[in-house]
Amino acid sequence: GESVGLHLPTLSVQEGDNSIINCAYSNSASDYFIWYKQESGKGPQFIIDIRSNMDKRQGQRVTVLLNKTVKHLSLQIAATQPGDSAVYFCAEGSNYKLTFGKGTLLTVNP
Amino acid sequence: EAQVTQNPRYLITVTGKKLTVTCSQNMNHEYMSWYRQDPGLGLRQIYYSMNVEVTDKGDVPEGYKVSRKEKRNFPLILESPSPNQTSLYFCASSYRQGDTEAFFGQGTRLTVV
């Protein structure tokens, strides 16, 4: 069946460096993709989304890239800060549901 | 403040004792859903509701019930909880079906002994 997975379960970066979190998906019919951030003890928080007819979208310090040829999604965080430490989930959406990946733990070292 | 509110935040109960986890949103959202989060499995959808009186099963509905009598409330009911329902539960809402920005509650940590 369809699945959304992450290449790396953990990622450790130095403060100020750029972070790249990757995600593979298998449902080519997905309409959109979303990145969520979950801090310890909190619910997931929307970061950025991208529609399936786009290949790049930028937000504040974040960029999402979508490569439909290889079914790959990435989240780039520029100038990573300690407050960016969290678990990041990618999710794919179609119709009425979201399917989440298992998450990547990002740790930012001072 | 726009928010999704779940109660309780923490609950320990015994097998077979019916319980309800409440969820309320103040954003007039049409779409609401429940997820459970388990280590190594990520977030899995239990049930969703596209509007009042319209609900449907998600990926893991067994052992759960929901209702949507009012737009703002979407309670999750466990008629006869079992230990395998020990999990972290999240309620989420969005403006309408297919809206990408979902707002999540703070979570309910349920332990069934």
Contact flag B104-A43 (C-beta cutoff 8 Å): yes
Does A96 have pLDDT greater than 90?
A: no
Q: Cβ–Cβ of A42/B106 closer than 8 Å?
A: yes
**pLDDT average, residue stretch A75-100:** 91
pLDDT at A4 over 60: no
- Residue A83 CB contacts under 8 Å (≥ 6 apart), including other chains: none
Query: What is the identity of the amino acid at A13?
Result: V
B84 against B96, higher pLDDT: B84
Chain A partners within 8 Å of B58 (Cβ): 97
Which residue among B4, B98, B103 sits closest to A95, beta carbon to beta carbon? Answer: B98
pLDDT at A2 over 50: no
Does the pLDDT of residue A5 top 70, yes or no?
A: no
Rounded Cα distance, A53 and A64, in Å:
13
Distance from CA of B46 to the nearest CA of A (A): 11
Contact predicate B29/B94, CB 8 Å:
yes
CB within 8 Å: B56 and A102: no
Residue B101 token pair: 């920005």
Q: How far apart are CA B95 and CA A30, in angstroms?
A: 19
Contact A96 B45 (CB under 8 A): no
Mean predicted confidence (pLDDT) in A35-63: 95
Lowest-pLDDT choice from A102-106, B16-20, B25-29 = A102-106
Nearest chain A alpha carbon to B49: A96
Three-state SS annotation for chain A: CCCEECCCCEEEEECCCCEEEEEEECCCCCCEEEEEEECCCCCCEEEEEEECCCCEEECCCEEEEEECCCCEEEEEECCCCHHHCEEEEEEEEECCEEEECCCEEEEEEC
Q: What is the mean pLDDT of residues A61-66?
A: 97
* Min Cα–Cα distance to chain A from B81, Å: 23
Distance CA(A28)–CA(A15), nearest Å, equals 35
Task: Report the 10 Å Cβ neighbour count for B44.
Answer: 16
Does the beta-carbon distance from B56 to A96 stay under 8 Å?
yes
Task: Give, as one character, the DSSP assignment of residue B102.
Answer: -
- Summary count for chain B: helices (H), strands (E): 0, 11
